[in-house]
Amino acid sequence: MSKITIGLIAATLLFVGCNNNANPSSNSGVGATVTEESLGLRKTDLYSEKSETQGDATHYSKSAAGSGYKIKRAFQDAPPMIPHDVEGMLPITINNNQCTGCHVPGVAESLGALPFPKSHMTNFRPKSIAISGANTSSANLKDISIKELSSLSGARFNCTQCHAPQSDSPAPKNTFEAAYVREDGASKSTWSGAKLMEGIDTIK
């Protein structure tokens, strides 16, 4: 018997086998169609966004910056959520970052806002120098420099990368309870300049 004949017999056996095992309640057989709706989790028409398809609406805070409304931190030193309206402030671009205008130390306090903390004026990026072709930044701790800067670090420029506005959509209830290490942990960062460097053997 040629290889082709053996192949054909095997294929036929497989086909018959499959058919015999087929679930009688399923829609298999000639002319049966699988609807697009039955394939996904969404069971409504894929080509229109009717009300039965739409999820629950998400509502972002409309309270204006300065209204005093704040949100508890998720855990000690978690990036605080943005409690105020960000209408007109996003997206942050190189020429338009209104966040820094209000949150820069020196201005923030007078507006009733917290200034961005020390950590945001620190460069944590490794000083990468290629020594005989090898990148020193990952291998040698002593070559990593953490530097205090006098202004906002470029790595912190895009605030909404870490700070997000909170919405009050009917999400599943969160039962996580933060164990703050400081009494004011729900509203204040503990990080200070010195603490950031504690125990880290780097070039200062």
Residues in touch with ligand HEC (CB under 6 A): 65-70, 77, 79-80, 82-84, 86, 89-90, 98-103, 111-114, 116-117, 119-120, 152, 156-163, 187-189, 191
**CB 118 → ligand HEC: shortest distance, Å?**
7
Q: How far is the CB of 113 from ligand HEC (least distance, A)?
A: 3
Between 50 and 62, CB nearer to ligand HEC: 62
- CB nearer to ligand HEC: pick between 116 and 180: 116
CB of 79 to ligand HEC, least distance (A): 4
Q: Of 100 and 137, which CB lies nearer to ligand HEC in the complex structure?
A: 100
The per-residue DSSP string of 129-161 comes to -EETTEEHHHH-GGG-B-EE-SS--GGGS-GGG
Q: DSSP of 37-96, one letter per residue?
A: HHHSS--S-TT---TTT--PPP-B--PPTTS------SSTTPPPPB-S--TTT-S-BTTB
Q: Nearer to ligand HEC by C-beta: 119 or 202? A: 119
Nearer to ligand HEC, 114 or 136 (CB): 114
- CB 183, min distance to ligand HEC, A: 14
Nearest Cα residue to 71 out of 62, 55, 82: 82
- The C-alpha atoms of residue 145 and residue 75 are separated, in whole angstroms, by 28
Beta strands at 147-148 and 122-123: parallel, antiparallel or unpaired: antiparallel
Compute the least distance from the CB of residue 198 to ligand HEC, in Å.
14
Give Dmax (Cα) for the chain: 92
Distance CA 108, CA 102 (A): 5
